[in-house]
Structure 1
Amino acid sequence: MPEQRLRIPRTPTTLRRKVVLAVVALVTASSVVIGVVSILALRDSLMSQLDTQVRSTAERAYGQVRGDGPAGILGLLNDQNETDARSILFGPATAEGTLALVNNNGTLTAGYLNDAGSISYPSTAQLTALATVPIDGSLTTVDLGPSLGEYRLLGAQHNSVVFIVGVPMSALNTTVSQLSLTVIIVAALGAAVVALIAAAFTRTAMRPLERVSAAAVRVSELELDRGSVDSFEPVSTEGVEPGSEVGRVVSAFNTMLDNVGTALVAREQSENKVRRFVADASHELRTPLASIRGYSELIRRMGGDTNPDVTHSLSRIESESIRMTALVEDLLLLARLDEGRELVRAEVDLNEIVVNVLADAHVTSPGHEWALGSPEEPVVVMGDQHRLHQVVTNLVANARTHTPTGTRVNVTLAVVGADAAHPVAEIVVADDGPGIPPERLDQLFERFVRGDESRARATGSTGLGLAIVRAIVQAHVGEVTVASTPGDTRFVVHLPMSDVAAAPATPPASPGV
């Protein structure tokens, strides 16, 4: 089995951080380039001065040894003059640390001026290093070990006399090191200061965009597809230059909010008109439907020698008027729930409701296998008993209507999170029927949507039962969900058991009304 590596999600890099990092990187790179150029220029300048000092030391040594000899290092020595390192080092204006080596006809003398102004003698290893100096009048750098460090040296030869003179590079190296450290410190401090300034600047510059982001988040959290939506508060333009890029973004966002708000107001007005129409029409239809049903029942009961066709027609008129009355009552209930009318709130024992509904189901549909699971103690919620009874009735009727005879339907009641601060009552209506087509699950709680069109039509279903369930549950600050596979369909209702003040009923989307 291949080894699986744990992937840690990356934290997204914000625009502010990118800007600050870019500015700091640019300033740091510029500081490094300027520092390197400055260090190299200073080192070249100091090296030039050091080379001049070495040549000057050699010339002074020549003047001390020859007196009237010809100028130049190649005319430094002759056969009659005896020269050694000591005579050179004790010459006039010889700097501390100056080194001299003379090989006069096989006699080797060497030394350097120490801090006390006396002569110290190089070690064998240092003499070996000095032996590598070219004797051609050119300048070279040699490392003489930890005690002396690097030296700038010049060597020459005339006849049988070899002469080497040098000056320590410790002062040059110290100066360059100090400058390098100074450049590093200044660059680091400069980068830190620039980072703070850039962070403050970008924070100020990005504040309008943060306000836009916060406003967008607030809008995204609203349920724009339902209910009443207050007008959106525009993003403040304080500190925003109108013609800038940020200013244009803020202006465009505010324009968008205004357009969306206008569209939502128009949608709400249109939905209110539809709700009022449905409520008014449903209310007005109740009386004529009751009259039609009453007269059809009266004529049917009068009996007599009524033609069989007329009797059948009257029976159909009566049954359809009953179905139409049920549809009108459902529409009127949905319209009232959409308007957010207050429910009758009292303590309701859900145990009693599920027991009564299941007892009715045993009578109305003996062909189904009914099962009940509920706790012995009462499960009490605050709500409208009649409406909650309708929720359970509609869910059980839905299971009965859309499943064949012999289907097992389980109704269970339980308390979820009994030990928590806000326990929830859970009602589950499950069946082992054929299931609901997956493409219908998302729209199952919409109005006039049926899980099985042919079966629902045959049984007189209006397609409003589940829409009523959702509207009532939402009015009780609850939630209803559905999951379905062949052989297992579950409707789950969650209702808060704590005494929660019911929010105004949130009107569900009603595209079909």
Structure 2
Amino acid sequence: MTARLRSRSLRTRLLVFITVVLVCVCAAMALTTVFAQRAYLLGNLDDRVGDAAERGVGGAALHPELTRDLTFLNETGQPAGMLAARLDAEGNILSAAVVGQDTPPHSLTTAQTTALKGITPDGSTHTRTLPGLGTYRVTALDASGIRVLAGLPMDDVLDTIGGLVEVEIGVAAVGLTVAGCVCAVVIRRQLRPLGRVAATAVEVSHAPLGRGQVTGLTRVPERDTDSGSEAGQVGAALNRMIDHVEASLAERQRSEEQVRRSEERMRRFLADASHELRTPLASIAGYAELMNRGTDRIEPGLAWRRVNAESARMRSLVEDLLLLARLDEGRPLQPSEVDMAALVAEAVWDARAAGAGHQWQLELALDEPVLVLGDETRLHQVVANLLANARIHTPPGTTVTATVEATPASCVIRVRDDGPGIPADLLPTVFERFTRADTSRTRAGVLEGGSGLGLAIVSAITTAHGGHIDVQSAPGRTEFTIALPATRLPAADPADAAARPRPASV
């Protein structure tokens, strides 16, 4: 409603302005025409008055001794309404008469004669109003002492000018009306896009920008964004502003969502950490209480072994949490050139010693040593955690294969097993902290299965080294893939490459 009122107000102001301009233009043209026509008609009348005065002087010159003679008015061809007078040396009127319509000339009255006083015989023209006769254009001439005054009525000139003014007023009124209507239609049509732009702006201003999901804000129609017009430029600018506002709000909402999720993860992390720490603490407290009571229900050696085991478990959990905290803070690692083939081979030998019931294989698809710039201890922990994850969550007899491959830009490590696979509902969160598989998939139960931080540590260490990790799982095949940026390798000797062993099993 406000946009409509503003648009209407703008149209009204433009229409008033254009109307005023048109009125001024028409008035200037009318005045110019009237004054030009009046000057032309008066000039023509003055010429006729001068001719009449000259004829009067010529007629009076025939009888110079007759100072009051006006017989020349009786000559044929004198126009009706023409007046003439004889003047003395002081300019006083001696006699004056006017030619009637189809009647002989008759003398002027005293009042009419008085209106003609003060006209000097110098040939200049004057305008005088005579009672009962109207307005006249008069002049007086002096030829060798013969002074004659002549005049012609201005009624025709005044009527012509008056008619011209009336015609121009009528034409101007009609023209202004038509022009006003045309301007109103044109202005309304030209401002219609601006009205739609204003309506769009009002609709956007009513959107709940401060809350909720802000998408799909109204845009100015494409037809109203033509850069060839001012209204189109405004519409295009408004659309760009709306795009910017929508993008900013979406970014703010994403940030708020990330903060909310981060807070949820932190709360869940603290709750899980508290739970994980509470279990070994409860066990330690229970065994300590039994030993303090000196009961025969448990051997002291067994109690101390359980206390030591729970203490080790709690220490491992705290160390894992501290490691994740350091990685989250972005603390620098201790980089050095690490031979990943040797590191993976060592980790496989360690896993074989810990899980003799599994089949362990190592494949090195390399033509030359592959070096990675990183923290050797942490990278070894990554591979060891992946191998331990495969050992813990697969049954005996499962084949676990570790592969090292080299590409021009990265070192790729794969850990593959042919176990039962990761449940589909667990796969999206497998790298989150305190994520555990069902005990049905855990060979040795929850205590043996760990705290659920192993894969989270793998992901955090890999990210800290500038790499990425991925997992694909299906029944019978689970494969973790790690890609780490490799350092520039020295050119290999063809003889060494030919002599280097190919994929091997351990």
Taking structure 1 as the reference length, the TM-score comes to 0.45
Taking structure 2 as the reference length, the TM-score comes to 0.46
Which of 1 and 2 has greater Rg?
2
